[in-house]
Structure 1
Amino acid sequence: MSQKSTVDLMIDDLKLQIMNLSGDRATYRAIATNKEVKNKQLKQEIEKLKKEIEELKKKMTDSKTEEVIEEPQSAE
């Protein structure tokens, strides 16, 4: 039975470390991709809500303008 040399053991250990790091890297990349997709979705939702707010503000302004225009007419 031949014993592995220290160098061989070190090489095996380094191979194992590389394999583990590769797995970790893949996991982190998947998490980062998932976060990027979620971030993009949230940005789109924010833009949609901003547009809705602007539309509501415009409707409120238009509604107030109509009330002011209608008010003098009803006084006559």
Structure 2
Amino acid sequence: MEWKSGSTNTTRIGYINKNNQLNNGTRGIKGTDHRQVAYKMKCLSPSCLYEYGANGTDVFQRKCPKCQNGNQGIDY
């Protein structure tokens, strides 16, 4: 299945939020927030590079669960 962008700037593939987290897109898997899908996120810290899932509503503010004490990721 192909990774796709969402319909907003923050849910587009390639979006990097203020915490240096990269949005890699969605496959349409249902998220945990009302009417959301999960997005594959990647921490861009060179010493981390952790991948995790996030609801579309959270992409703009997510922090890495591994190195930035962010919330645990969801299935993506």
Q: TM-score range by the shorter chain?
A: under 0.3
Q: Relative contact order (alpha carbons < 8 A, sep ≥ 6): 1 or 2 greater? A: 2
Q: TM-score, normalised by structure 1?
A: 0.15
Give the number of the structure whose residues are more often strand, by fraction: 2
Q: Which has the higher helix share?
A: 1
